[in-house]
Chain A
Amino acid sequence: MSLTGLTYLVVGATFALYVGIAFWSKARDTGDFYVAGKHVHPVANGMATAADWMSAASFISMAGLIAYLGYGASVYLMGWTGGYVLLALLIAPYLRRFGKFTVPEFIGERYYSQTARVVAVICLIIISFTYVAGQMRGVGIVFSRFLGVDVSTGLFVGMGVVFFYAVLGGMKGITYTQVAQYCVLIFAYTVPAVFISLQVTGIPIPQIAFGSDIAGEDVPLLVKLDQIVTDLGFAAYTSGAKGHMDMFFITLALMLGTAGLPHVVVRFFTVPKVRDARISAGYALLFIAILYTTAPAVGALARWNLTTTIQAGPVGEADANLAYEERPEWFRTWEETGLLTYTDLNGDGRIQYYNDANPEFAERAQEYGWQGNELTVDRDIIVLANPEIAGLPDWVVALVAAGGIAAALSTAAGLLLVISAAVSHDLLKGVVMPRISERQELMAGRLSAAAAVMVAGYLGFDPPGFVAEVVALAFGIAASSLFPVILLGIFSVRINREGAIVGMLSGLLFTVGYIVYFKGYMGPLGGNVAENWLFGISPEGIGVLGALLNMAVAIGVSAATPGPPESVRELVERIRRPA
């Protein structure tokens, strides 16, 4: 069977599975629709959370990012895992104890204010839509590369599947599909990683191969890698190019953002008990860690494979560079997609891959007769091309395609659900029409989920310029708007309505303003370079300052205005105890 046929088969089989689950787990009431009836086992919720959390970015882009940045990419590894410690210790058990349906609902009740609830809904919608647009785009790209259809067709098929199980099953349908999607994606991620580890080091476990000697030699992979990349003018793989202070802020912003992302927080509303919420966060991180500790190994191995394929012999010797005519099969395949390109600048018919932006290396490059870097590789292809580079059988390639789609769909569905719950439960039932019946609310939930799928599809089809900056924006907003008021709402009795509203708005406006100023989609207003940044903090890390500002304002304003009513003090006392 051809690769395309096989890919259709594998992807089609996973889709049939997801749709089957949707039929089996149809939502009967709003409890099912918003929080899966609170019957989800903590281990199942851990898997669902892991799939919910790991998006197209984690699956497709992260290992490539690590391969290029080396140590500098540690911010993503620590930031996107360390946030779960904050979630488990500071947020999840208390919100589960609160025992309602949504994050804005908690903010509305804790701060006894519809305005606070509406502000929280606005933050949630901005965060979730920016995030979901990128996912739909990811689905489209995987489809077009592996199934040979164009990006928009891929997008429609993806929308159709999500539509089916999100609208029909709500949170209940999404939860059990996510469990299946986690299994698909983790299998698809680890199988190629094991084979590549074996090929390079002879050791099958990627986390150990990462620190092992190159097969047949006495030198560790990372030492050899550091050597060859510095010989080519790049920064050493295992030490950083970025300033440590900026890395500190980016890591913290990603952690705070993780703990404040509504689609992640709400997953912990679905388990039966407070105790389950705590333990479930541990399982979620365990399942996430399987991918997150494999990714840096894949990154280093892929960088090694790519570099030594091109630079086959000692740097500087004329015949040490790969001749273009002798390029391997995967090289040709990816050239066709335009994601890998070669231009023979010095006309020697060989490929030179080095850092031509490094002024200290320029002199040596000239000695070698090199006239510029001749190879560009889109970092997103690292994971997708891995099975081909390693020469693995076609079914592995098909599996990777299904895994990429599973990662994108599971995250998209989780995001769409929190959007629809915010509209039907917080805005409609909570503010606009409090007297609608349970059945009408469920219908409104399904309708808003359907509408959200459409908007997400549109955004994925025609992404606004800022979607590329989705990470900075979504995490920055979550860190600076929702996280501080949830945290203060649990750990301080004194913060009142006025403090929370003004705090959320100042954190939100400051962070969005800063990001738009440097990365705005009409072109940055200010040069996005370290000299211009406030305290040397890049837009990716600014959420930390936004969060501090939010807290300072909330505490200051609360001190100057009357404290919350007795009922709120009782609410805080209640959520602090499991029973």
Chain B
Amino acid sequence: MKRTYWQENLRLVAICLGVWFVVSFGFGLLLVDVLNEVTFGGFRLGFWFAQQGSIYVFVPLIFFYAWRVTRLDRKYGVGETDEPDASRDD
């Protein structure tokens, strides 16, 4: 039971880190010259990802992870109760 929770969590972390890597290191650095051929508004797309787009993805990515992992907590019954100090000393 415990192991399965942990494995599902690891899978979720891996997916999120994949997105994290692609938008920053992928689009913003490694593929920047290719993407810069495309313009988007007044931006070259690679440049936009490096200075704006990657950050716009990072923020919802963390909220997405927080939401999905809380669902996992509930599914496996390892979530916290609403008692504020539940996790303090056990």
Give A contacts to B, CB under 8 Å: 38-39, 66, 71, 74, 77-78, 81-82, 84-86, 88-90, 93, 96-97, 99, 207, 210-213, 220-223, 238-240, 244, 247-248, 251-252, 272-275, 278-279, 281-282, 285-286, 289, 292-293, 296, 573, 576-579
List residues of chain B with CB within 8 A of the CB of A292. 55
17 pairs from A and B in contact (CB 8 Å cutoff): A38-B85, A71-B51, A74-B47, A77-B51, A85-B20, A86-B20, A89-B13, A211-B43, A213-B42, A251-B25, A274-B80, A293-B52, A296-B52, A573-B2, A576-B6, A578-B87, A579-B79
Chain B contacts for A293, CB-based, 8 A = 52, 55-56
Contact check, B63 vs A282: say whether CB atoms are below 8 A apart: yes
CA distance A97 to B2 in the complex (A): 16
Q: How far is B41's CA from A422's CA once the two chains are assembled, in angstroms?
A: 50
Are B5 and A275 closer than 8 Å at their CB atoms? no
Sorted nearest first, the 3 A-B pairs with minimum C-beta distance are: A220-B42, A74-B50, A282-B62
CB-defined contacts of B87 to chain A, threshold 8 Å: 96-97, 99, 273-274, 578-579
Q: Given the complex, which residues of B lie within 8 Å of A220, measured CB to CB?
A: 41-43
Collect the chain B residues with CB atoms within 8 Å of residue A240's CB: 32
Question: In the docked arrangement, what's the CA distance between A282 and B66, Å?
Answer: 8
- Expressed in whole angstroms, the minimum distance between the Cβ of A268 and any Cβ of chain B is 12
Contacts of A210 in B (CB 8 A): 42-43, 52
Closest to A73 in B: B51
The answer on a CB contact under 8 Å between A78 and B62 is no
B residues contacting A by CB (< 8 A) are 2, 5-6, 9, 13, 16-17, 20, 24-25, 28-30, 32-33, 36, 40-44, 47-48, 50-52, 54-56, 58-59, 61-63, 65-66, 69-70, 73, 78-81, 84-89
B48 surroundings in chain A (CB, below 8 A): 211
Least CB distance from A488 to B in Å reads 14
The answer to whether B54 touches A272 (Cβ under 8 A) is no
Contact present for B20 and A82 (CB under 8 Å): yes
A66 surroundings in chain B (CB, below 8 A): 51
Q: Are B78 and A578 in contact (CB under 8 A)?
A: yes
Is B59 a contact of A286 with CB atoms below 8 Å? Answer: yes
Q: Which residues of A contact B54 (CB under 8 A)?
A: 77-78, 81-82
Contact assessment for A279 and B42 in the assembled complex, using a CB-CB cutoff below 8 Å: no
For B84, the closest partner residue in chain A by CB is A272
Known: A274-B80, A578-B78. A38 touches B88 (CB 8 A): yes
B73 engages A282 (CB within 8 Å)? no
- Besides A89-B13, A279-B63, A293-B56, 13 other CB < 8 A contacts? A71-B47, A74-B51, A78-B54, A82-B58, A85-B17, A210-B42, A211-B42, A213-B42, A238-B47, A248-B25, A576-B9, A577-B6, A578-B73
| Contact in complex: B30, A77 (CB < 8 Å) | no
Chain A residue nearest to B17 (CB atoms) is: A89
Q: In the complex, what residues of A have CB within 8 A of residue B33's CB?
A: 239
Residue from the set B36, B40, B87 with the largest chain A CB neighbour count within 10 Å: B87
Could you say which of B9, B29, B42, B62 contacts A85, with CB atoms under 8 Å apart? B62
Q: How far is the CB of A124 from chain B (nearest CB, A)?
A: 24
Q: How far is the CB of A72 from chain B (nearest CB, A)?
A: 10
Alpha-carbon distance A402/B29, docked complex (angstroms) = 36
**A245 to B73 Cα, complex, angstroms:** 39
| CB of A271 to closest CB in B, whole Å | 10
B20 — which chain A residues lie within 8 A by C-beta? 82, 85-86
Nearest CB of B to A139, in Å? 28
Contact B58 A275 (CB under 8 A): no
Complex CA–CA separation, A82 to B28 (angstroms): 12
Once bound together, how far apart are the Cα atoms of A285 and B61, in whole Å? 10
Q: Which residues of the other chain, B, contact A247 by a CB distance below 8 angstroms?
A: 29
CB-defined contacts of A39 to chain B, threshold 8 Å: 84
- Compute how far the CA of A286 lies from the CA of B62 in the bound complex, rounded to whole angstroms: 10
Q: A74-B28, A89-B17 are in contact. Are A275 and B56 (CB under 8 A)?
A: no
Interface centre among A96, A293, A578 (most CB of B within 10 A): A578
Q: Which residues of B contact A81 (CB under 8 A)?
A: 54-55, 58
Q: Roughly how many angstroms separate A89 CA and B5 CA in the complex, as a whole number?
A: 15
Task: For B2, list chain A residues within 8 Å (CB).
Answer: 573, 576-577
| Cα distance, A285 to B48, chains bound together (Å) | 19
Tell me which residues across on chain B come within 8 A of A579, comparing CB atoms: 73, 78-81, 86-87
- Closest residue of chain A to B63 (Cβ to Cβ) is A282
User: In the bound complex, how far is the Cα of B29 from the Cα of A273, in angstroms?
Assistant: 36
Write out the residue numbers on chain A whose beta carbons fall within 8 Å of the beta carbon of B42: 210-213, 220-223
Tell me the smallest distance from the CB of B40 to a CB of chain A, in Å. Answer: 8
Cross-chain contact A279 with B85 (CB below 8 angstroms): no
Shortest beta-carbon distance, B47 to chain A, in Å?
Answer: 4
In the complex, what distance in Å separates the CA atom of A251 from the CA atom of B24?
A: 9
CB-contact partner of B58 in A93, A212, A289, under 8 A: A289
Contact B50 A78 (CB under 8 A): yes
- Which of A85, A251, A279, A286 gathers the greatest number of chain B CB atoms within 10 Å? A85
* Among A248, A251, A272, A281, contact of B85 (Cβ-Cβ < 8 Å): A272
Give B5's nearest chain A residue, CB to CB.
A577
CB pair B58–A77 under 8 Å, yes or no, is: no
**B65–A212 CB distance below 8 A:** no
Q: What is the CB-to-nearest-CB distance from A569 to chain B, in angstroms, rounded to a whole number?
A: 12
Closest Cβ of chain A to B79, distance in Å, is 6
